[in-house]
Amino acid sequence: MHESTIYYTYTDEAPALATASLLPIVQAYAKVANVNIETRDISLAGRILAVFGDRLKENQRVGDALAELGALAKTPEANIIKLPNISASIPQLKAAIAELQALGFDLPDYPDEPSTDADRDARSRYDKVKGSAVNPVLREGNSDRRAPLSVKAYARKHPHLNKPFAAGSKTRVATMGHDDFFSNEKSVVLSAADALTIRHIAADGSTTDLKTGLKVLAGEIVDATFMNVAALDEFLAETLKQAKADDVLYSVHLKATMMKVSDPILFGHVVKVFFADVFAKHGSALEAAGLNANDGLGAILAGLANVAGAEQIIADFNQQLSVGPRVSYVNSDKGITNLHVPSDVIVDASMPALVRNGGKLWGVDGSESDTLAVIPDSSYAGVYQATIEDVIENGPLNPATIGSVPNVGLMAQAAEEYGSHDKTFEIKSAGRVDVVNASGEVLISHEVAKGDIWRATQTKDEPVRDWVKLAVTRARATNVPAIFWLDAARAHDAKLIAKVNRYLGDHDTNGLTIEIMEPAAATKYSLGRIREGLDTISVTGNVLRDYLTDLFPILEVGTSAKMLSIVPLLNGGGLFETGAGGSAPKHVQQFLEENYLRWDSLGEFFAIAASFEHLATTKGNSKAQVLADTLDRATGTFLEEDRSPGRKIGTIDNRGSHFYIGLYWAQELAAQTADAELAAKFANVAKTLTDAESKIVEELIAVQGKPVEIGGYYLPNAELVLKAMRPSATLNHAIDSL
């Protein structure tokens, strides 16, 4: 038997709190089966501290856990369980920095406009931390994401409500369709390995190398495109008029976390156009105070405290809110609009919520209204419009009867937009941007204006081959149609379609349905099938993978947190992801106020079982297979008995869920016949937990209803968190006795 190690990531917010309760149970059970589970801190705070070790005291320094796991992900030994982490927007990053500074860490402020070498150094380090810094490092494989059978069965037996759209609903998606990233995209396939330069040539002929030494491989797809911001501003102004005329809520849907360079700028344009009169009147004062529209209305209002004339500026903002189109609210009780924080409204979570709620979002008074959903770039906006049209025409999806849309996603080695952050630039002056190879040949060229957002992306050939293979494998294993969501009218997709057609020839596809459809058509096709109770595999690029693995699960099973997400790594290891974390901040807020955590760890249960199974296969650890099988059965009981966190105080929360998965798991381990040694070791644990069920639940519920202190949001005190998340002495004794 082999000693086996699983690396379990410590992340942020609600998932991190849940880890303090769940992981001691999992570690104790795993140790009995000779499986070692180690944690690695890839939280936002941990990542910040890792890049500034040279400025910190010796006892404050932390290792670069993300780099360590990134290297591990390229080896056959990798077995990593990855929980949702903060993909930090600038406001979140600044808040984390301020908290760490207050705790005594010598960190520089985040420089919005670096002007010194020290500023530039700090900005370079922080740029490694912000946005989706984690996923491109760990995802050395493509994604296989689907709803486990037990989750699907539970959703059919206990369907959630998808509301119908009202007759005459005015809800729709507004998108540019011209002069945007989609329409300006150009793409090339490299015939040989090379080193590229991205160069800006100003109107006066002066040149600036934006990026040099960009290494590319033979067969790699390189794309470049830009957003024309003059056209963007015209589009935004027109959508404001439309929302006002239709008397619907105005909401913008971006992803300032994942698209950490481009989308905050886009968000800033929305803020400036919405409040055009305010910026015309007070723009100089706001700029002098260092207040940037890209950070959102909330950051501007918070930063006005010491600004001369602040009362008038605030009044003018409020006046514009009252006379402009009605804006949607993230939290009407606290006055937080859709325009307050760039990371508050994330398109892949917000648009499914809109559809599920009958096309309505929430206004200033908390009431619901039809909505103009503004998604500026047209690359994937059509997917959401097609979904809205389908639900209006055919009624809401019924979770009790519908099929499923699992996903095979191209994401290995930072494929597509996830790799674009170091190649995205806000253009400083009018001119041209060229992508040039080592011999000086211009591969791609764009005429640009000041303020335009230009970006390039890369997609290596090996991940594409693996993606096609994974799609065929899943289609063969399930006998379900596999649809490649690719648009021949888009430059990148056209190159990808040629590769897909070529690499499909490497596989036996006889008897399989494998087709290529543009995204809006693929949406309609997949929705048509799931209404008949049939499954359809969506085979997509990276960003669309991110969107669809929220859209369909939220409509099918109520949440994307319950998905099984397996990433077979290219070199033989495994990465097991645990679901989405978009609701994590709200759960933390409730926990701090009421000592009640609604975070659902079901995704963790699935990932842990898959991780054990991977160990059994790769390490020959038969006991790990027993752990996997029994945890799967325990999770089925967990769902059948409805042990997910309740909706209000007085019911079990996240900690109670962990007790019940521990109880059912121990009972399954004690009853199984595949390993007598494990059965004997867990017999006492199962009996103890069974006998003490009512006492343990009572101890867990008794702490609810009062504020709880954990010593920080981004870097909470570990002892306080453990104390808060393990409040049952009876449960702790039973687990720790193992």
pLDDT at 584 over 80: no
Q: Give the span between the Cα atoms of 620 and 643, in whole angstroms.
A: 33
Q: What is the DSSP letter of 709?
A: -
CA-based radius of gyration for the chain:
26
pLDDT at 61 over 60: yes
Q: State the Cα torsion 543-547-553-558 to the nearest 10°.
A: 140
Q: Give the span between the Cα atoms of 431 and 657, in whole angstroms.
A: 58
Q: In this structure, are strands 4-10 and 453-459 parallel, antiparallel, or unpaired?
A: unpaired
* Cross-strand bridge partners of residue 567: 575
- Counting every residue written for the chain, the total comes to 738
> Following DSSP, what letter does each residue of 410-464 receive, concatenated?
--TTT-BGGG-GGGEEE-SSSEEEEEE-TTS-EEEEEEE-TT-EEEEEEE-HHHH
Question: Looking at residue 582, what is its pLDDT?
Answer: 56
Q: How confident is the model at residue 294 (pLDDT cuts 50, 70, 90)?
A: very high
pLDDT at 131 over 90: no
* Tens-digit pLDDT profile for residues 538-549: 999 999 999 999
Report pTM. Answer: 0.87
Task: Give the ranges where 165-252 is alpha helix by DSSP (H).
Answer: 181-184, 229-246
Question: Looking at residue 88, what is its pLDDT?
Answer: 84
> Following DSSP, what letter does each residue of 83-94 receive, concatenated?
-----B-HHHHH
Q: Please give the share of the chain, as a percent, with pLDDT higher than 70.
A: 99
Q: Give the span between the Cα atoms of 726 and 716, in whole angstroms.
A: 15
* Tens-digit pLDDT profile for residues 99-110: 999 999 999 999
Based on DSSP, count helices (H) and strands (E) in the chain, helices before strands: 27, 24
Question: Does residue 285 contact residue 308 with C-beta atoms inside 8 Å?
Answer: yes
- Helix, strand or coil for residue 196? strand
State the sign of the Cα–Cα–Cα–Cα dihedral 251, 255, 260, 266: negative
Q: In what order do the strands lie in the sheet with 574-577?
A: 35-41, 4-10, 79-82, 574-577, 564-568, 143-146, 407-409, 537-540, 482-485, 514-517
Question: Looking at residue 419, what is its pLDDT?
Answer: 65
- Mean pLDDT, range 460-484, rounded to an integer: 97
Element (H, E) at 368: strand 368-374
Q: How confident is the model at residue 1 (pLDDT cuts 50, 70, 90)?
A: very low
Question: Looking at residue 91, what is its pLDDT?
Answer: 86
In our burial notation (b when 16+ CB lie closer than 10 A, e otherwise), range 400-436 reads eebbbbbbbbbbbbbbbbbbbbbbbbbbeeebbbbbb
pLDDT at 634 over 60: yes
* Tens-digit pLDDT profile for residues 238-290: 999 999 999 999 999 999 887 888 999 999 999 999 999 999 999 999 999 99
Q: Give the span between the Cα atoms of 183 and 620, in whole angstroms.
A: 51
Question: Looking at residue 250, what is its pLDDT?
Answer: 98
Q: How confident is the model at residue 3 (pLDDT cuts 50, 70, 90)?
A: low
Residue bearing the bigger pLDDT, 170 or 346: 170
Mean of per-residue pLDDT scores for the chain: 94
Question: Looking at residue 586, what is its pLDDT?
Answer: 82
Question: Looking at residue 2, what is its pLDDT?
Answer: 43
State both tokens at 495: 């190159």
pLDDT at 321 over 70: yes
Question: How many angstroms from the chain centroid is the CA of residue 388?
Answer: 22
* Cross-strand bridge partners of residue 579: none
State both tokens at 520: 């809006």
pLDDT at 585 over 50: yes
> Following DSSP, what letter does each residue of 573-630 receive, concatenated?
-EEEE----TTHHHHHHHHHHHS------HHHHHHHHHHHHHHHHHH--HHHHHHHHH
Q: Give the span between the Cα atoms of 525 and 381, in whole angstroms.
A: 17
